[in-house]
């Protein structure tokens, strides 16, 4: 379990007064070696902005020196107010302290071993009363625990600093003896020191297990390891060898992504995974529990990649519940890797699937978790914040929705060109989930960000996406997402000149959309060459696919010049989903006007029958299939 230190302002103030100039460097090495994180909220930055290291030459600012090893994660104001109400306004700590308590609670729920470092005893008692789950310790004990993990030559100066900080904590507590009963606080401070003793033993054991796990991973990667490690691993490297076939298999998956090959690749991957797990499980079963735990941790990266691949293939085939199962397993494996990027990616994919199912509460929580993971590793946050804001809006949680959009607005202001690309990618993902109403609003904002900064090619691509989203909109989408545009308008602000240019582009798109809403003037009852309707080599994007009670399939596709048309496919197994690309091939087609019901539901211009359906080729966009290397 990842150990995480959430640190309050007073700890940094103590360090500013007493820490030697070697402290930050020593701490950085300890945190890196033991895979620990040092986390604060933006409020801590505000409180210690002018605090300096008094014992250092030139007295640098504490924040500047800690910058490289400090992770800052924002907490929504609504969450702070919610915790204050839960604790009771009079009894609750200040807002910055509350933000740290909220953050510590969130990280604890995500499976981290969280220790809140504070000398404010109220944060401990309030956390216990509200059952928030995190542990606490004063700054002196925090430094003492760092000392226990440091090399012997650095241990002495860490312990010395810990004693001096503890003396300051005691003096302050005693000075308040007439204001409150300090006995409980003194007991807590002493207990934290006593609890520290087994902590060092636990850390040592944990470090040994981590080293052995890495040794096993290195062996599987073909590297040489120490003889002592090889001896301890025994037969485990040989037992684990079948896992290597998974990565070899995955490396071949991106070459062909037609719908038929996608189904075949999914089946082959699932079969291989079953065989690998069975082979390893049979050899592992007679061994002890510690060996099994070691293997599960060492192999989690391979399993993460495989489950993610299966999840994406299932998602691209329209099998969303199956995709959710695989991606949930991928997330479980990612937590064993202790890789925040892997966790973030899996959680985001699960959030998108929840959006497709219109499970707004689950999707909001998933995107908010992805955002926290992004902050931990300084990854792009914009897509997660926008999705979280949309989902909170659809839950009528107006306050949280606006807070997410405000945070997203601050990111957009830093670089509108990058923001435009990220919003366009998000819009494409929402279109592939058959959520054109959401996609339209996101793409609208992407266009706003692109106007003064992006190339003509980017603007044209955005225009086509907006046109397709417009064409895919139904009456239900328009009503369902009422008020969303007003919310997302907070993402970006245009100058008068930009607003005028934006209005011109949107007017052109709306005019084309109106043209595409008109039924075809000419229809054919007799078979005609398909290129008479659809240009040779044209690629159509699937907007949605629906199966009726007779098991016939209506596939709604979009073409930039033609608009949206419906392909009526006879009974059969059609592995097609929103976002797929369709090539017609060489065949003949008939064209009829859509019924009033189909026109209203899908905004299609005509219904197309295909003479030779074997010529139809459905494929998933190549950039949808991405498997990250997590080793």
Note the pLDDT tens digit of each residue in 434-492.
888 899 999 999 999 988 777 888 888 898 888 888 877 776 666 666 788 889 999 99
Report residue 454 as tokens.
């992006």
Query: In this structure, are 184 and 262 located in the same domain?
Result: no
Do 281 and 132 sit in the same domain of this protein?
no
Structure tokens at 188: 């807590």
**Whether residue 194 has pLDDT greater than 60:** no
pLDDT of residue 434: 83
Helix axes 340-356, 382-394, angle to 10 degrees: 40
Domain boundary among 338, 360, 383: 338
Which of these three, 290, 322, 338, is where a domain ends? 338
| Euclidean distance between CA atoms 326 and 541, whole angstroms | 26
Whether 400 is in a domain gets the answer: no
What per-residue confidence (pLDDT) applies to 198? 42
Residue 104 lies in a domain: yes
Contact 565, 584 (CB under 8 A): no
- Residue 305 or residue 181, greater confidence: 305
Tens digits of residue pLDDT in 331-362: 878 777 766 788 788 889 899 989 988 899 99
Per the model's pLDDT, the better-predicted residue between 186 and 310 turns out to be 310
Is 411 inside any structural domain? no
Mean pLDDT over all residues of the chain? Answer: 83
Q: Is the pLDDT of residue 629 over 90?
A: no
Share of the chain above pLDDT 90, in %: 25
Joined together, the tokens standing for residue 325 give: 């199962």
Taking Cα atoms as reference points, which of 270, 320, 269, 261 lies closest to residue 577?
320
Same domain, residue pair 259 and 176: no
CA 118 – CA 196 distance, rounded (Å): 16
161, pLDDT greater than 70 = yes
Does the residue 483 lie in any domain?
A: no
Reported pTM:
0.70
Instruction: Give the Cα separation of 105 and 112 in Å (integer).
Output: 10
- Give 119's DSSP letter: S
53 vs 35: CA distance, rounded Å: 26
Q: In this structure, are residues 15 and 62 in contact, taking their beta carbons and an 8 Å threshold?
A: yes
Taking residues 117-134, report their average pLDDT: 80
Q: Are residues 7 and 83 in the same domain?
A: yes
Output phi, psi for 174, to 5 deg.
-65, -35
Rounded Cα gap, residues 215 and 298, in angstroms: 9
- CA-angle at 336, arms to 128 and 367, nearest 5°: 70
Task: Tell which residue, 210, 218, 158, 168, has the closest CA to residue 189.
Answer: 168
DSSP-derived secondary structure letter, 61: B
Note the pLDDT tens digit of each residue in 11-20: 999 999 999 9
3-state secondary structure of 625: coil
- Summarize the confidence of residues 502-510 as an average pLDDT: 87
- The domain in which residue 306 lies consists of 235-338
Q: Is residue 501 part of a domain?
A: no
pLDDT value of position 389: 94
For residue 279, with 0-12 CB atoms within 10 Å meaning exposed, 13-18 middle and 19 or more buried, which class applies?
Answer: middle
Residue 157: per-residue pLDDT: 87
Mind listing the pLDDT tens digit for each residue in 547-599?
877 778 888 888 878 888 888 887 666 778 788 888 888 889 999 998 888 87
Q: Is 381 part of a structural domain of the chain? A: no
Predicted confidence at residue 182, as pLDDT, reads: 64
pLDDT at residue 278 in the model:
92
At residue 619, the pLDDT reads 79
Residues in a beta bridge with 564: 558
577 or 8: which carries more pLDDT confidence? 8
Residues 115 and 180 in one domain: yes
Same domain, yes or no: 179 and 250: no
Rg (the chain; Cα; Å): 29
Q: 124-138, 200-214, 306-320: which range is least confident on average?
A: 200-214
Same domain flag for 144 and 63: yes
Q: What angle do CA 46, 48, 51 make, to 5 degrees?
A: 140
Q: Are residues 255 and 139 in the same domain?
A: no
Edge-to-edge strands, sheet with 563-569: 524-529, 588-592, 607-610, 563-569, 553-559, 540-547, 581-583, 617-619
Burial of 31 (0-12, 13-18, 19+ CB in 10 A): middle
Beta carbons of 349 and 383 less than 8 angstroms apart: no
pLDDT computed for residue 623 by the predictor = 47
Identify the pLDDT of residue 627: 42
Mean pLDDT of 489-505: 88
Tokens at 1, concatenated: 């379990």
Q: Is residue 289 part of a domain?
A: yes
Is there a single domain that holds both residue 549 and residue 602?
yes
Residue 546 parent element (H or E) = strand 540-547
**Do both 117 and 259 map to the same domain?**
no
Query: Which tens digits make up the pLDDT trace of 234-258?
Result: 889 999 999 999 988 888 775 556 6
Domain of 22, CATH number, reads 3.40.50.1010
With beta carbons less than 8 A apart as the criterion, state whether 364 and 392 touch: yes
The sheet carrying 135-137 orders its strands as 70-72, 37-40, 3-7, 113-117, 135-137
Domain count across the chain: 3
Examine the domain organization and report whether 198 and 83 are in the same domain: yes
Cβ atoms of 169 and 140 within 8 Å: the answer is yes
Burial profile 362-389: b = 16 or more Cβ within 10 angstroms, e = fewer: bbbbbbbbbbbbbbbeeeebbbbbbbbb
The whole-angstrom separation of Cα 615 and Cα 588 is: 10
Band (192; pLDDT cuts 50, 70, 90):
low
- Say if 254 falls within a structural domain: yes
Q: Are 158 and 242 within one domain?
A: no
pLDDT at 542: 87
Q: What is the pLDDT of residue 568?
A: 86
CATH number at residue 577: 2.40.50.550
Tell me the CA end-to-end span of the chain in Å, nearest whole number. Answer: 18
79 pLDDT tier (thresholds 50, 70, 90): confident
**Mean pLDDT value of segment 109-126:** 83
- Enumerate the β-bridge partners of residue 6: 39, 116
Given 318, 338, 358, the domain boundary residue is 338
φ and ψ at residue 217, rounded to 5 degrees: -65, -40
Are 108 and 76 a contacting pair, CB within 8 Å?
Answer: no
pLDDT at 421: 92
């Amino acid at each position: 379990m990842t150990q995480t230190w959430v640190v309050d302002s007073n700890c940094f103030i103590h360090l500013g007064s007493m820490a030697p100039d070697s402290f930050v460097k020593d701490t950085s090495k300890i945190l890196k070696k033991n895979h620990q994180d040092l986390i604060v909220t933006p409020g801590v930055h505000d409180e210690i902005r002018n605090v300096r290291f008094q014992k250092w030459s030139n007295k640098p600012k504490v924040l500047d020196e800690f910058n490289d090893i400090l992770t800052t994660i924002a907490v929504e104001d609504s969450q702070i107010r919610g915790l204050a109400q839960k604790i009771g306004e009079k009894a609750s700590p200040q807002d910055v302290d509350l933000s740290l308590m909220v953050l510590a609670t969130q990280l604890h729920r995500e499976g981290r071993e969280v220790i809140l470092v504070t000398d404010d005893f109220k944060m401990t008692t309030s956390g216990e009363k509200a059952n928030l789950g995190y542990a606490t310790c004063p700054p002196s004990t925090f430094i003492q625990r760092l000392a226990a993990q440091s090399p012997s030559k650095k241990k002495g100066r860490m312990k010395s600093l810990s004693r001096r900080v503890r003396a300051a904590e005691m003096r302050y507590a005693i000075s308040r003896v007439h204001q409150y009963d300090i006995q409980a606080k003194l007991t807590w401070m002493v207990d934290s020191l006593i609890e520290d003793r087994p902590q060092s033993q636990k850390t040592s054991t944990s470090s040994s297990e981590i080293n052995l796990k890495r040794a096993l991973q290195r062996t599987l990667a073909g590297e040489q390891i120490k003889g002592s490690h090889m001896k301890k691993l025994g037969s485990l490297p040989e037992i684990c060898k079948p896992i290597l076939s998974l990565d070899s298999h995955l490396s071949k998956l991106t070459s062909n992504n037609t719908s038929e090959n996608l189904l075949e690749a999914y089946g082959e991957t699932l079969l291989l995974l079953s065989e690998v797990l069975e082979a390893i499980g049979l050899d592992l079963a007679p061994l002890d529990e510690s060996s099994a735990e070691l293997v599960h941790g060492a192999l989690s990266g391979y399993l993460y990649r495989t489950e993610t691949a299966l999840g994406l293939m299932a998602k691209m085939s329209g099998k969303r519940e199956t995709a959710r199962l695989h991606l949930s397993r991928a997330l479980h494996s990612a937590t064993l890797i202790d890789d925040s990027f892997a966790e973030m990616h899996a959680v985001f994919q699960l959030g998108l699937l929840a959006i497709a199912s219109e499970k707004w509460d689950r999707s909001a929580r998933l995107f908010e978790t992805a955002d926290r993971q992004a902050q931990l590793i300084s990854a792009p946050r914009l897509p997660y914040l926008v999705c979280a804001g949309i989902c909170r809006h659809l839950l009528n949680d107006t306050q949280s929705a606006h807070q997410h959009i405000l945070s997203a607005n601050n990111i957009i202001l830093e670089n509108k060109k990058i923001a435009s690309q990220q919003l366009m990618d998000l819009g494409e993902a929402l279109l592939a989930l058959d959520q054109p109403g959401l996609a339209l609003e996101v793409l609208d904002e992407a266009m706003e960000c692109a106007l003064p900064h992006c190339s003509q090619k980017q603007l044209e691509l955005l225009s086509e996406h907006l046109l397709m989203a417009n064409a895919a909109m139904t009456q239900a989408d328009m009503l369902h997402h009422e008020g969303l545009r007003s919310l997302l308008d907070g993402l970006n602000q245009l100058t008068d000149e930009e607003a005028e240019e934006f209005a011109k582009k949107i007017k052109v798109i709306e005019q084309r959309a109106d043209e595409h809403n008109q039924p075809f003037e000419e229809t054919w009852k007799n078979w005609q060459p398909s290129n008479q309707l659809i240009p040779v080599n044209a690629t159509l994007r699937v907007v949605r696919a629906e199966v009726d009670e007779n098991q016939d399939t209506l596939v709604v596709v979009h073409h930039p010049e033609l608009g949206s048309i419906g392909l009526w496919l006879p009974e059969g197994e059609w592995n097609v989903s929103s976002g797929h690309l369709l090539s017609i091939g060489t065949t003949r087609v008939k064209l009829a006007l859509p019924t009033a019901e189909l026109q209203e539901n899908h905004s299609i211009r005509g219904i197309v029958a295909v003479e030779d359906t074997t010529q139809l080729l459905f494929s998933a966009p190549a950039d949808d299939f991405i498997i990250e290397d997590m080793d």
